[in-house]
Structure 1
Amino acid sequence: MSSPIERLFTVFDHTALVLQEELKCSYLEAVAETGENLFHGDVLQEEVSELSKKRLKKEYESIQLESFTNEQIRKAFQLAVLKGMKEHTQPHHQMTPDAVALFIGYLVDKFTKTYFTLSILDPAVGTANLLTAVINQLSGKQVKSYGVDVDDLLLQLAYVNANLQKHPIQLFHQDSLRPLFVDPADVIVCDLPVGYYPNDEQASHFRLKAEKGHSYAHYLFIEQSIRYAKEGAYLFFLIPNSLFTTDQSGKLHELIKEETFIQGLLQLPLSLFKNEKAAKSIFILQKKGEHAKAPKKALLAELPRFSNKEAMQAMMHKIDQWFSEER
């Protein structure tokens, strides 16, 4: 007997393959199309043959979306997107590992324990996998969420992903490092796009611009995120471990020190990454403001493998202890 996630993935996969053939598009584009069909309970593409329409409808009718949890929908959709990304490998089409997305959701929930309502912004939203994983952890809170991305296909996938999970996320298709059309948020989550930002003219509006040549996109994303955070807001970044070892890191240190309090730095297990150079950490900041204060000591830890239940429980206990001492 297959699991609900496998059943739902199979429907995404089979129907995407039919649409890929019919529409002569990439598998990833077909995933977006089939997700849209599933949401509307119909085949929306006019160019699909009658025979294929029948096949697709039969597949869609074999499942009831209402019987799946948001997390099951998110994970099944994510599996389909990951399959598509394998053949569509553009370097910026990387998805936040699932265990990491869930762990960031757990941290956001801990830091916003006293909030009844909150707004979340992901300025590099991609397929909205990280953003929806976080929202799914915030049960009992009223959440307004915003996502920005320059890649139209990723944004289309984010739109479908949000619809299937019934999350009213406002999505903006634009360069995330230009002025944004969003109000400052209570929480920022961002898996930082690592690399160089090609638009030197736009980079010149940032303190963290490079003296010469292209600026680091991940530095500019941190500065942009701080700009669009409310006073006292929390920022959760997935950062490369090499963030503070570059020739430009002095300016980054200054900005972080002036604008925020460092709440924590949690190093992710190396086993999650293909090589050590790709290893990342979760970096937690709080923007300065009237009610914001520096922790007595920041939450610093090396996380164990997520599959090691005992070690993870011990780590959660350590984090709980930190919160009871700090809050």
Structure 2
Amino acid sequence: MLEAKTNLEKLFVVLDESAELLKEELDVTYLEALAEAGENFFQGEVVQDLTSSTKKQLEQRLQQVDVESLHKEEVRKALQLAVLKGMKEATQPNHALTPDTVAVFISYLVNKVTSKMKDVTIGDPAVGTGNLLTAVMNGLPKKSKSYGLEADETLLHLAFVSANLQQQEIELYHQDSIRPLSLAPVDVMISDLPIGYYPNDDIAANYELKAKEGRSFVHHLMIEKSLELTKENGYLIFLIPNFLFESDQAPALNAYLKEKSIILGLLQLPQTMFKNAQSGKSILILQKKGPDAIQPRQALLAEMPSFSRQDALADMLKQIDRWFKEELNLS
């Protein structure tokens, strides 16, 4: 066993070893086994029907870490490391994790837009493993409730285990968020938007942002659904591809956003975070129109410096803080 020094490393090692044992015994993928391992740590016992030797090895690992005594962020990051390992063997293109620095930065932005709210409700229409949503919730100093939707059963199981281990109150739905659903609107909608085409043309036909011809973009439909599920004056913070406003369907998206929301900001993430220019991303910040929505004199438009350049990043955060205070009266 590796010599683990920090709580985060200790938890990662026992989760990883437990997942490998379960993967072998149950003949499942690493990610499925990781969800099962997480379930054991939450229940405090081995819940699967296994051979006595595997069960004994898993029970030994359960005794090595007291998850309840750990900080929520230690638990989230340990799970994130294990999920990243599992993603490398997964072949599905949508199995990708929001980079940790980006998740924490989105948490900072959510703190900004909710600074005057007493408690906060948050939604994520493509919650995945719950990494972004729990990072945001862990960063909030006030009470928050949230929900997440996810069509992939393995990712949803991981999100469920992750929320339980971090003791966060999240309602999770095994559902494609483009289909009809009735959920209470939230104060803030966040998402690392999945990119691609939506396969069901009949359901897409009910959306204003459906394609005039051929398949509709799932990311456009998800933006429309998210606005529908956000309270008046509420906020939406999305991780989007840099090419979002360059496609042949972009004019319709632009017109729709101007009609339903105020575009508060667009922050381009450093290119060094991505393999190539085509995979570059930005953070889009919107406010849904309502009686108290504020139209800033100028939108927050910036190219973020590398997150490893501490001085440049600190300077950028000062500028962003000033913008929120001067333009939106938010501290």
Is residue 4 of structure 1 aligned with residue 7 of structure 2? yes
Match of residue 308 from structure 1: 309
Task: Decide which of 39, 42, 47 is 1:39's aligned counterpart.
Answer: 42
Q: Is the 8 A contact 2:68 2:165 kept in 1?
A: no
Match of residue 268 from structure 1: 269
Letter of the structure 2 residue corresponding to residue 52 of structure 1: T
CA deviations 1:252-304 (Å, max 9, x no partner) are: 01100000001111000001111110000000000000111211111111101
Letter of the structure 1 residue corresponding to residue 181 of structure 2: L
Identity across matched positions, percent: 53
Q: Please, which runs of 5 or more residues in structure 2 have no aligned partner?
A: none
Match of residue 52 from structure 1: 54
Match of residue 85 from structure 1: 87
Match of residue 259 from structure 2: 258
Please list, as runs of the form range in 1=range in 2, the aligned pairs for 1:1-327 lying within 5 A after superposition.
Answer: 2-46=5-49, 48-139=50-141, 141-326=142-327, 327=329
TM-score by length of 1: 0.98
Q: Is the 8 A contact 1:37 1:44 kept in 2?
A: yes
CA deviations 1:137-157 (Å, max 9, x no partner) are: 102x11110000111111000
Instruction: Determine the C-alpha separation between the residues in 2 that align with 1:279 and 1:89.
Output: 21
Cα distance, 1:223 vs structure 2: 0.6
3-state SS of paired residue (2:87): helix
Q: Please, which runs of 5 or more residues in structure 1 have no aligned partner?
A: none
Letter of the structure 2 residue corresponding to residue 28 of structure 1: L
Equivalences, count: 325
CA deviations 1:143-200 (Å, max 9, x no partner) are: 1100001111110000000000001100011111012231011000011110011111
Superposed CA RMSD: 0.8
Letter of the structure 1 residue corresponding to residue 98 of structure 2: T
3-state SS of paired residue (1:232): strand
Instruction: Determine the C-alpha separation between the residues in 2 that align with 1:316 and 1:111.
Output: 14
Q: Is the 8 A contact 1:146 1:182 kept in 2?
A: no
TM-score by length of 2: 0.97
3-state SS of paired residue (1:116): coil
Letter of the structure 2 residue corresponding to residue 209 of structure 1: K
Cα distance, 1:241 vs structure 2: 0.4
